[in-house]
Chain A
Amino acid sequence: MLSIQNLSKTYPNGVQALKNVTLEIPRGMFGLLGPNGAGKSTLMRTIATLQAADSGTIMLDDLDVLKRREEVRKVLGYLPQEFGVYPRISALSMLDHFALLKGVTNKGERKRVVEGLLRQTNLWEVRKRRLDTYSGGMKQRFGIAQALLGDPRLIIVDEPTAGLDPEERNRFHNLLAEIGENVVVLLSTHIVEDVRDLCSQMAIISEGEVLLSGKPEEIIRGIDGKIWVKEIEKAELESYKSEHTVISTRLYGGKTLIHVHGDTAPPGFSPVTPDLKDVYFSALKRVA
């Protein structure tokens, strides 16, 4: 159980990245949903011992994350949003090296773990290839392999699916889904489907603040009967925006489809069963 209390962080350039963030993150997959620049990465880096906070606490069970970084690192698996690798080195050697740095000092043990992870991430056949020749998806899977090294109790994956094609994303989801229920997995994304597919708990964060948190189905239930849909002409959009809380617009067969939030149906709108996207956009509009 990861417990974040009143966490704040302001960067030297004045940007307030975290504003009094409080979150309770139980074991299992936890999705952190938010637009780019919402403070997701700051939060995750802070939990991953890479950055100090101005105030607040983070507790992993009874471990003070901000004070006892060394201890946290021993149980942490972290996949940053963007990462590189040493050039001119194979996946096998690199993973072996990471395993050593994770504290798997026994050679045979290391070999077993590394091989197992390479198989599981479907990199076994290319294990001897240089990492700098990997495609984006392969690299991402390598990243998750290293994050899973050494039995972490806390796994943090930051925007793992950005830049992956649908098939790669799918594979990646399968992999994440295997991670045991007994560890805390914190996943940040700006793609709603990632959370929908994977997470049993979630939070929506924007401009450094937590807007919503809970189980996805419960959150969706919270806006049940409040989302309405209508097909309009593109030129009409502005006038709708001024009259209603338009939470999303999208093109559908050449027409513009808008969702609005409201307690009652506006004229000409029909009800729609809300999904996580509607929750997300409502939350960003601060209406949910």
Chain B
Amino acid sequence: MWLRIARFELFYQFKQPLIYIMWLLFFLLTFGAVSSDSVQVGGAIGNVNRNAPFVIVQLMSVMSIIGIFAITAFVAGAALRDFDKKTAELYFSKPIRKLDYIFGRFIGSTFLSILAVSGSAFGIFFGSMMPWVDPERIGPFMIDPYLFSMGVMVIPNVILISAIFFVVASATRSMLFTYLGVVVFFVAYSISGQFRRNLDSEYLASLLDPFGMSAFQNATKYWTISEKITIVPPFEGALLQNRMIWVGVAALVFLLGYVTFSYTKRASKKKKILLDGSIGEAAAAAVGQAPPRAQVNFRSGTALSQYAGQAKVEIFSILKSVPFLVMLLFGIANVIGGASQTHQFFGTSLLPATYLMVQTIEGSYVFLLIIIMTFYAGELVWRERALKMDGMYDALPFPDWVPFAAKLTALFLVSICFLAIGVLTTMGYQAFRGYTQFEMMVYLKGMFMLCYPFFLACVLAIVVQVLSKNKFLGYLVMILYLISDVIFLAFHMEHNLYIFGGSPSATWSDMNGFGHFVEPKAWFFAYWTLVTVVLVTIAIVYWRRGTEEPFRKRTIEAKRRWRGLVKFATLGSIAGAAALGAFIFYNTNVLNEYMTGDEGKDRSADYEKQYRQYLGEPQPRVTAVSIDADLYPSERRLDMKARYTYVNKTDAPIARLYMNQPPRSEIRSMDIGGHSVHMADSTLGFYVLDLDRPMAPGEERPFVFEVAVTNDGFRNGATDYALVGNGSFWNSRHYLPVFGYDPAHELLDRNDRRKRELPPPHRMNKIDDEAARMDNYISIDGDWIEFEATVSTDPDQIAIAPGYLQREWEADGRRYFHYEMDAPILNFYAFLSGRYEVYRDKWQDVDIEIYHHPAHDSNIPRMADAMKKSLDYFTANFSPYQHRQARIIEFPRYDIFAQSFPNTIPFSEGFGFIMNHEKEEDIDFVFYVTAHEIAHQWWAHQVMGGNMQGSTMLVETMAQYSALMVMEKEFGKENMRKFLKYELDRYLSARGGELIEEMPLLLVENQQYIHYRKGSVVMYALQDYIGEENLNAAIADYIAEVGFQEPPYTTSLEFYEHVKAATPDSLQSVLVDLFETITLFENRVTDVAAEEDGNGGYTVHLSIAAAKYRSDGQGVETEIPIADWVDIGVFGEDDAVLYLAKHKIDAGEMTIDIAVEAEPVEAGVDPFHKLIDRNSSDNRKKIQL
């Protein structure tokens, strides 16, 4: 019997559109995700095959979670239908057993849900077969991942969701409460997600994730590419346990629902139909009179009153409706969740600054506004028709524009109300975090910039519904509009003149406000507003009144209505939009160059194809730089006069120069001692110049350039944000010419390259390439240079360049600063200008200066503290500081990084200045970054490697190590363990994203996860093995040998020689593991027990399993015999170290007995995560006494 009921459920739904729409939706989502980069589901696919088993399982799992909304629609529908449609009595009077009824409905609707979600499998399958997908990114078809996804992830998840919400729906008999339940469930799920991210409870989190995602992620998180593209994880361990637990929970929930289910329970008190008899004949007296007469009037104000009245009715209809309330609640929960996760760095969070809150609203809330607008546009336009009151309504004497205007106004006001609630929510969150500078103007401006286009789209949604034949067709068209972004992008159509509501993006900065982003945005907004007015007039003339007619007839009626003000508005707006469009086009395409991202890549490809032939041509090298820069911040204009001294350092004459001139700037004059132009390519900014008089070997010659940067008009896309009203920041590569072919312009992405018929990306020069040692990796045409600069700016700004301020003066209403550097610096320098407040301090005789936005003062003392402590450690252990000054300068958050130039460290307002170090004992991210950047004054600005493999280890790994040592002093060893665990985790996770080949640290090819993350772990382990002092002594020797070195530059091998010399023979093999190879351990405690030894002490019996692997660059591992000295530790109460010593581990399984004096609580192998262990969570185990 239950089978028949289930079948009935299926056939019922097969006749409804829902199942088809849902299937298609799931199909399209994964189809898009697999076949394009524009659609992302749960993050980008990365570099693995688009149909890799890992990708399939991940996508389908995410789909089964997103599916909660679809699944609830099916199961709640099945549970509630008989009550809604009042067929319950009919049904329940039949001799159907309760079990059959409930189970049948449940099974039927669950099956439908699974069917709907399975659309995603077909989406992946067909998506990966599309002809436009890069065939190199498609692996062979495998059935396993599909079966695994369906069997292990999708079906159990759907069963769980079905059971929960079937029961919730049956118990509450209300769609509203069921969907509220979904919201609550989602919120609870994201809270448990916070918990999951805490690494210490990984196993528990794996079990507790109801959808098994954590279990899957933990099982695969350190997977290499070769694993991701070939296998699915084994169905065992935490994953298996998780699935069994949650299917069990589903069964329990269902059982509970079954037991408590009752046929007779009424939905609620509503819908009790009134009976006529109940009102009696009391009013009979009134019968027999003529109807009351009324004064009607149709003055000019009447329509306005009608409009206001109708708008009021519409507003309340939305505010009281279930979907709106559900979306509002969901939005509030989502925005709180989003706000609490704003940028955590190693446990340090950012202050909840208002612009971050606006960003949170953008990320977690606004998508709901788009759904609300689209959905209610359809609801409102079709409302009278859906309620069958159109006959009555349309014959009422109001002008045609009234219902349209009222509905539009209602939708606008409800949207504004919705946004206001979002803002109030984030303000509440700010207050909760103790941040009370609410900055209402930032909210107001930010929300306006963000949401105005959505209001225009809202008009579009209404117009589409007015023109459409029915509501669902209208929705379909709007969905097409919403995904049109993706389509435009796919065809490289990026101009905001034809992307409805489009405008260049604008970023808020506390320093610069919305700055110059406002102007283009305003023009585009005005243009699209006029286009929208045209749409409004279309909606008015096509507004339905009376019986539905074919479109041709409606057009006849529309023409009749198109007169007077409406006609004037249409024609006026078209004219206005055309004029504004022309003006915008003039700015974006005539004054500035309009270029799509794809064309930009084409240019990079052309540059490489045409000019790579000149790579390595001998060129003169710069030895001294003197620059006069005049910045006009409000005009975003810059004039620079550069006087270079170039020397022919080769032993042959140089007659031909290859010059790169960034197209962003324009050369006004050029004097290089007489030349003729052999070839000029102004598009790519590459010039071949013949010197009238070749430069003899050793000859020195002045080169003088005048360049100008003007920012006329505005652009369609990303605006140059180096020159801004307040907080300009540009470096030597931005606008000044450079000699020699510059490989930095080449495309890096192998797919982009393949599309343009370029070979795979050029790898870094090999470590034994002696010629490559003649360049360093930062500058291609200079070594150590003398530097001076004069910078002028507005009188209320301070301008900064490397060097020491020699003189400051005002002339002609401008402020001048003359800087001179007294020590040689690398050919890489930066300029800044802004309205700064300056914090001054001293470390010994070094001036500490921090230039910051006046309001951003909360982290200044800690920055200064970190600077001083860093200088302490580095000067004591490495070498003297080469400057008499150390400066940090804040710049706007258009970029988020900090960068070290000689005695000058630009630091983004986006993290350093708004970090919120709440817990005293935690690692302070500001401290860490500051220490790292100060360390670069040594690692980069004293020791610089050649342009080859391993050099970034000398710069970045060493800066990491230096910062780690300063931090260890400040925060203690226990915090370092936490920090290193993050670093290890990030290294292991990032390995799977490797594009080309994972290199050992010693040969790192500018791979961040290696030189930063693995570098930290390796260097910390090294100092642990050979001792901090011993290592620092070797480092000091090395700096003494290679600091400020002229070419040939040093290499990582030279550094390695010093390390080797400082390492005892017994540990030489450790160096091989750390530097020369990719070595991974798999150490764990299998068992631990302890007993009292009778003398008040304890004996701990520790059983461990140990394994050691070597990996190749593609992640293929081979086990090698283990024979290493590894930490063995025993811990007492409060993590007190009772025993810690290195033991030689030379067997796969070993038992070690350790005597300790206090009661042991925990014991472990490599308990401080000094080795690179693929699973660091099983290294410790609690002791059972």
Contacts and interface: CB of A to CB of B under 8 A. Distances in A.
A79 B299 CA distance: 25
A53 to B, nearest CB: 11
A107 B392 CA distance: 22
Interface string A115-130: 0110110111110010
Contacts of B306: 100-101, 103
Interface stretch (B141-149, B393-401, B516-524, B588-596): B393-401
B1066 interface: no
Contacts of B317: 86, 88
Contacts of A102: 294, 296, 396-397
A133 B273 contact: yes
Among B272, B281, B290, B299, chain A packs the most CB atoms within 10 A around the CB of B290
Given A120-B287, A178-B289, A151 B547 contact: no
A138 B389 contact: no
**Binding site of B, secondary structure by majority: helix, strand, loop or mixed?**
loop
Contact of B283 (A112, A125, A149): A125
Interface string A99-110: 111111110011
A175 B545 CA distance: 29
Contacts of B86: none
Given A84-B387, A97-B313, A117-B292, A122 B396 contact: no
B388 interface: yes
B391 A133 contact: no
A106 B297 CA distance: 9
B291 to A, nearest CB: 5
Contacts of B275: 135
Contacts of A112: 292, 294
Contacts of B283: 119-120, 122, 124-125
B744 interface: no
B291 A120 contact: yes
B549 A109 contact: no
A117 B291 contact: yes
B217 interface: no
A50 to B, nearest CB: 3
A80 B399 CA distance: 21
Interface in A212-259: none
A146 B392 contact: yes
A179 interface: yes
A268 interface: no
A76 B302 CA distance: 17
B282 interface: yes
Contacts of A99: 294
A78 B391 contact: yes
A119 to B, nearest CB: 4
Contact of B295 (A76, A84, A106, A137): A106
A133 to B, nearest CB: 6
B296 A178 contact: no
A135 B313 contact: no
A98 interface: yes
A266 to B, nearest CB: 46
A175 B398 CA distance: 27
A106 B396 CA distance: 17
A50 B301 contact: no
Given A88-B320, A105-B297, A74 B397 contact: yes
A190 B1067 CA distance: 106
Given A52-B549, A113-B292, A86 B389 contact: yes
B1120 interface: no
B309 A74 contact: no
Nearest to B394: A50
Contacts of B555: none
Nearest to B314: A86
Contacts of B811: none
A11 B836 CA distance: 76
A86 to B, nearest CB: 6
A101 B547 contact: no
Nearest to B285: A119
- B interface bracket (residues with beta carbon within 8 Å of A): 35 or more
Interface string B374-405: 00000000010001110111111111000000
Among A85, A101, A168, chain B packs the most CB atoms within 10 A around the CB of A101
Contacts of A81: 391
Contacts of A149: 294
Given A50-B391, A100-B306, A174-B287, A151 B313 contact: no
B52 to A, nearest CB: 51
B271 A178 contact: no
A269 B274 CA distance: 49
A125 B280 CA distance: 9
A43 to B, nearest CB: 12
Interface string A41-68: 0000100111110000000000000000
Contact of A50 (B273, B389, B395, B550): B395
Contact of B545 (A50, A83, A179, A180): A50
B298 interface: yes
B1058 to A, nearest CB: 81
Among B296, B317, B398, chain A packs the most CB atoms within 10 A around the CB of B296
B551 to A, nearest CB: 11
A240 B1091 CA distance: 114
A137 B288 contact: no
Contact of B282 (A101, A105, A125): A125
B402 to A, nearest CB: 8
A122 B279 contact: yes
A126 B294 contact: no
Interface in B536-562: 545-547, 549-550, 553, 557
Contacts of A87: 387
A31 interface: no
Contact of A48 (B297, B299, B395, B398): B395
Contacts of A178: 287-291
B309 A97 contact: yes
A123 B276 CA distance: 10
Among B282, B283, B291, B294, chain A packs the most CB atoms within 10 A around the CB of B291
Contacts of A89: 313
Contacts of A52: 549, 553, 557
B718 interface: no
Contacts of B394: 49-50
A122 B274 contact: no
B296 A150 contact: yes
B294 A104 contact: yes
B310 interface: yes
A210 interface: no
B135 to A, nearest CB: 50
Contacts of B274: 126, 129, 133-135, 138
A19 interface: no
B395 A78 contact: yes
Interface string B741-760: 00000000000000000000
B317 to A, nearest CB: 6
Contacts of B396: 73, 98, 101-102
Interface string A135-159: 1011000010010111100000000
- What are the nearest 10 A-B pairs in CB distance? A50-B546, A80-B391, A116-B292, A84-B387, A73-B397, A103-B296, A84-B388, A119-B286, A113-B294, A74-B397
12 contacts: A78-B391, A82-B388, A84-B388, A86-B313, A89-B313, A116-B292, A120-B289, A120-B291, A122-B283, A124-B283, A146-B392, A178-B290
Interface of A: 12, 45, 48-52, 70, 73-74, 76, 78-89, 97-106, 109-110, 112-113, 116-117, 119-120, 122-126, 129, 132-135, 137-138, 143, 146, 148-151, 167-168, 174-175, 178-180
Given A83-B388, A112-B294, 20 more contacts: A12-B550, A51-B547, A52-B549, A74-B397, A88-B317, A97-B309, A98-B392, A101-B310, A102-B294, A116-B291, A116-B292, A120-B287, A120-B291, A122-B283, A122-B287, A123-B279, A132-B271, A134-B274, A150-B296, A180-B290
Interface of B: 270-276, 279-284, 286-299, 301-302, 305-306, 309-310, 313, 317, 320, 383, 387-389, 391-399, 545-547, 549-550, 553, 557
